[in-house]
Amino acid sequence: MISLEQRCQDLTLGALCDFLKTHDRYLILTHSAPDGDTLGSAFALRAVLAAIGKQSYVVCPDGVPEKFRFFAKEDAKPDFEPETILSVDIADEQLLGKVKDTYAGRIEVAIDHHVSNTHFAKNLYLDASASATCECIYDILTALGLPLEREICEALYTGISTDTGCFKYSNTTPKTHRIAAELMLRGIDYAEINRIMFDTKTRARIELERAALDAAEFHFGGKCLILPVTLKMRQATGCTAEDVEGISVISRSIEGVKAGVTIKQMDEDLFKISLRTYEPLDASAICQKMGGGGHRAAAGCTLSGTLSEVKETILQFVGQALEETDAGTASV
């Protein structure tokens, strides 16, 4: 890690702009299982580069999900030989997914907002105070003195809105709101964007939520909710991977729950655990005991065994954590 960090050069905003102006023929990489921020960043950056007379094209390892296609319009093969590889919103080379073998070790500049960025690129422009990488792209655009075209605004708004839960979460800053105000001035249909991103569920997803909630269990006097999402449920409801995305939010949205545990079955005896906690519980500490990790309020791990074995393991560690904190002794 240290040797990698030594090789990775941190860039200021000014240095990044100089780099972009003095290179050409860009290839822009998004992360696998793409979200609004990586796509918004990539397609806005493509427009920024076009505005300063540079060629570029976007490589999205898993393709662009339907709901982002109103701004994320993929090119056919580029008509130029790429020279300079950029990545947006990628914290770790593992997130290159299918194209990892092709591009790992070859990225010239990573543009990112994850404090956990592993410094895998030759150069890194990192703004960990940004709510989304799209905020970084906005800063680049402003620093280059470019106008806010409507298409760019749509891409950036989508990235910022999705990464902040529509300005709901603690990563939202006053600057985030000020940028949103500027983007909205360009007449984008932000209400429709938000409807697509937040208020549209497929019928399969609704069915899946219902099945998961039917199988949900409360433990420790309602302080822990176990939400199982089994392969059988996914098959019965016809849910795609996209439909399942974000379901763990439900586990901590119920009043009184301090630890929301979503158990996603990946294979017959393999489960991905997503743990969402409220103070004073530390999700990261709990998941570390099960071989995983993450943030204080949201962490994860992978467990093998039967569903009831996996549940038992989780309940043991969550119960321990509840007992060690005041959360366990409060009125039930």
Could you tell me the CA-to-CA distances from 83 to 52, 55, 154 in Å, in that order? 17, 10, 28
* Closer residue to its own copies, CB minimum distance, 13 or 254: 254
Question: How far apart are CB 224 and its own copies at their closest, in Å?
Answer: 13
What is the rounded distance in angstroms from the CA atom of residue 225 to the CA atom of residue 218?
5
Question: How far apart are CB 183 and its own copies at their closest, in Å?
Answer: 9
Inter-residue contact 181 to 77 (CB < 8 Å)? no
Cα-based torsion angle of the residue sequence 144, 148, 150, 155 in order, rounded to the nearest 10 degrees: 60
* Closer residue to its own copies, CB minimum distance, 21 or 168: 168
* Closer residue to its own copies, CB minimum distance, 84 or 274: 274
Per the structure block, which two tokens stand in for 15?
């240095």
Which phi and psi angles does 149 have, rounded to 5°?
-75, 150
* Closer residue to its own copies, CB minimum distance, 52 or 185: 185
* Closer residue to its own copies, CB minimum distance, 185 or 236: 185
Question: How far apart are CB 92 and its own copies at their closest, in Å?
Answer: 26
* Closer residue to its own copies, CB minimum distance, 103 or 190: 190
Question: How far apart are CB 174 and its own copies at their closest, in Å?
Answer: 4
Question: How far apart are CB 216 and its own copies at their closest, in Å?
Answer: 9
Could you tell me the CA-to-CA distances from 132 to 30, 40, 162, 284 in Å, in that order? 14, 10, 9, 22
Q: Which residues contact its own copies (rule: CB under 8 A)?
A: 165-170, 172-175, 177-178, 180-182, 184-185, 190-191, 194-195, 198-203, 206, 210, 213-214, 218, 222, 249, 252-256
Inter-residue contact 321 to 259 (CB < 8 Å)? yes
Question: How far apart are CB 192 and its own copies at their closest, in Å?
Answer: 8
* Closer residue to its own copies, CB minimum distance, 252 or 311: 252
What is the rounded distance in angstroms from the CA atom of residue 143 to the CA atom of residue 173?
20
What is the layout of strands, in order, in the sheet containing 84-88?
A: 9-10, 123-126, 109-112, 84-88, 26-29, 56-59
Question: How far apart are CB 96 and its own copies at their closest, in Å?
Answer: 31
Cis-peptide, bond into residue 82, ω within 30° of zero? no
Query: What contacts 40, CB < 8 A, 6 or more positions away?
Result: 71, 72, 132, 133, 134, 137, 155, 156, 157, 158, 159, 160, 162
